[in-house]
Amino acid sequence: MDQVRIAGVGQTPFGKYLGVGVRTMAEQALDAALLDAQMEVGRIGAVYFANALSGLITGQETIRGQVALRHTGLMGKPIINVDNACASGSTALHLAWSAVASGQVDVALAIGSEQLTHADKAVTFAAYASGVDVEEREAQDRHAPSDRSVFMDIYAERTRRYMQRSGATPRDFAMITVKSRQAASLNPLAQFRTPTTIEEVLSARMVSEPLTLPMCSPIADGAAAVILVRGAASAASRRSVYVRSSTLVSANADGVDPVCAVRAANGAYEKAGIGPHDIHVAEVHDASAPAEIMLYEHLGFAGRNEGVRLVRDGVTSVGGSLPVNPGGGLLSRGHPVGATGLAQIVELTTQLRGEAGARQRHGAKVALAECSGGNLGLDSAVAAVTILSV
Amino acid sequence: MDQVRIAGVGQTPFGKYLGVGVRTMAEQALDAALLDAQMEVGRIGAVYFANALSGLITGQETIRGQVALRHTGLMGKPIINVDNACASGSTALHLAWSAVASGQVDVALAIGSEQLTHADKAVTFAAYASGVDVEEREAQDRHAPSDRSVFMDIYAERTRRYMQRSGATPRDFAMITVKSRQAASLNPLAQFRTPTTIEEVLSARMVSEPLTLPMCSPIADGAAAVILVRGAASAASRRSVYVRSSTLVSANADGVDPVCAVRAANGAYEKAGIGPHDIHVAEVHDASAPAEIMLYEHLGFAGRNEGVRLVRDGVTSVGGSLPVNPGGGLLSRGHPVGATGLAQIVELTTQLRGEAGARQRHGAKVALAECSGGNLGLDSAVAAVTILSV
Dihedral of CA atoms B227, B230, B236, B237 in degrees, nearest 10, equals -10
User: pLDDT digit string (tens) for B7-19?
Assistant: 999 999 999 999 9
- Note whether B82 contacts A79, CB cutoff 8 Å: no
Residue B186 region by backbone torsions, left for phi larger than 0, else alpha for psi between -120 and 50, else beta: alpha
Q: Where are the alpha helices (DSSP H) in B38-120?
A: 54-57, 64-68, 88-101
Q: What is the pLDDT of residue B330?
A: 98
B72 vs A contacts (CB less than 8 Å): 253
Position A320 confidence tier, pLDDT thresholds 50, 70, 90: very high
Position A310 confidence tier, pLDDT thresholds 50, 70, 90: very high
Residues above pLDDT 70, as percent of chain B: 96
Q: What is the pLDDT of residue A378?
A: 82
Q: Is A285 marked active-site?
A: no
User: With an 8 Å Cβ cutoff, is B336 touching chain A?
Assistant: no
CA angle B350, B354, B360 (to 5 degrees): 80
Count of beta carbons in the 10 Å neighbourhood of residue A271: 15
Contacts of B337 (CB under 8 A, 6+ apart): B51, B52, B53, B85, B86, B88, B114, B116
3-class DSSP state for residue A114? strand
Dihedral of CA atoms B272, B284, B116, B20 in degrees, nearest 10, equals -70
B374 vs A contacts (CB less than 8 Å): 62-63, 66
Q: Going by DSSP bridges, is the β-strand pair A366-373/A281-283 parallel, antiparallel, or unpaired?
A: parallel
Q: What is the pLDDT of residue A146?
A: 46
Q: Would you report the helix, strand and coil content of chain A in percent, each value rounded to 5?
A: 40, 20, 40
Q: Which residue of the set B118, B335, B362, B371 is catalytic?
A: B335
Q: Where are the alpha helices (DSSP H) in A195-259?
A: 198-203
Q: What is the pLDDT of residue B146?
A: 46
Q: What is the 3-state secondary structure (H, E, C) of B165-214?
A: HHCCCHHHHHHHHHHHHHHHCCCCCCCCCCCCCHHHHHHCCEEECCEEHH
Q: Which of residues 355-374 of B touch A (CB under 8 A)?
A: 373-374
Which of these ranges, A114-118, B101-105, B265-269, has the smallest mean pLDDT? B101-105
Q: What is the pLDDT of residue A220?
A: 97
**d(C-alpha A44, C-alpha A197), whole Å:** 45
- Note whether B59 contacts A56, CB cutoff 8 Å: yes
Is residue A104 scored above 60 in pLDDT? Answer: yes
Q: Which residue of the set A71, A86, A94, A285 is catalytic?
A: A86
- Note whether B83 contacts A64, CB cutoff 8 Å: yes
Distance from CA of B241 to the nearest CA of A (A): 22
A4 vs B contacts (CB less than 8 Å): none
**Residues A351 and A209: beta-carbon distance below 8 Å:** no
Position B139 confidence tier, pLDDT thresholds 50, 70, 90: confident
| Residue in A102, A127, A376 closest to B102 by CB | A102
Domains and CATH numbers, chain B: 4-120+218-389 (3.40.47.10)
Q: Which residues of B192-229 are buried (b: 16+ CB within 10 A; e: fewer)?
A: bbeebeeeebbebeebbebbbebbbbbbbbbbbbbbbb
Q: Which of residues 82-111 of A touch B (CB under 8 A)?
A: 82-85, 88, 91, 94-95, 98-99, 102-104
Dihedral (CA of B95, B101, B104, B108) sign: positive
Is residue B147 scored above 50 in pLDDT? Answer: no
Interface TM-score (ipTM) > 0.90: yes
Q: Which residues of B245-265 are buried (b: 16+ CB within 10 A; e: fewer)?
A: bbbbbbbbbebeeebbbbbbb
Phi/psi for A144 (5° steps) reads -60, 140
Q: What is the pLDDT of residue B142?
A: 55
- Note whether B70 contacts A253, CB cutoff 8 Å: yes
Dihedral (CA of B299, B305, B308, B314) sign: negative
Among A253, A260, A261, CA closest to B73: A253
3-class DSSP state for residue A162? helix
Count of beta carbons in the 10 Å neighbourhood of residue B232: 10
Among A190, A218, A191, CA closest to A204: A218
Contacts of B29 (CB under 8 A, 6+ apart): B10, B11, B12, B111, B112, B113, B223, B224, B225, B339
Q: Which residue of the set A94, A285, A335, A371 is catalytic?
A: A335
CA angle A212, A217, A223 (to 5 degrees): 165
- Note whether B253 contacts A78, CB cutoff 8 Å: no
Phi/psi for A31 (5° steps) reads -60, -45
**d(C-alpha A197, C-alpha A327), whole Å:** 18
Q: Report, as an integer, the average pLDDT of B96-123.
A: 95
User: pLDDT digit string (tens) for A171-226?
Assistant: 999 999 999 999 999 999 999 999 999 999 999 999 999 999 999 999 999 999 99
User: With an 8 Å Cβ cutoff, is A336 touching chain B?
Assistant: no
User: With an 8 Å Cβ cutoff, is A81 touching chain B?
Assistant: yes
3-class DSSP state for residue A364? coil
HSE-up (13 A, CA, CB side) for residue B55? 34
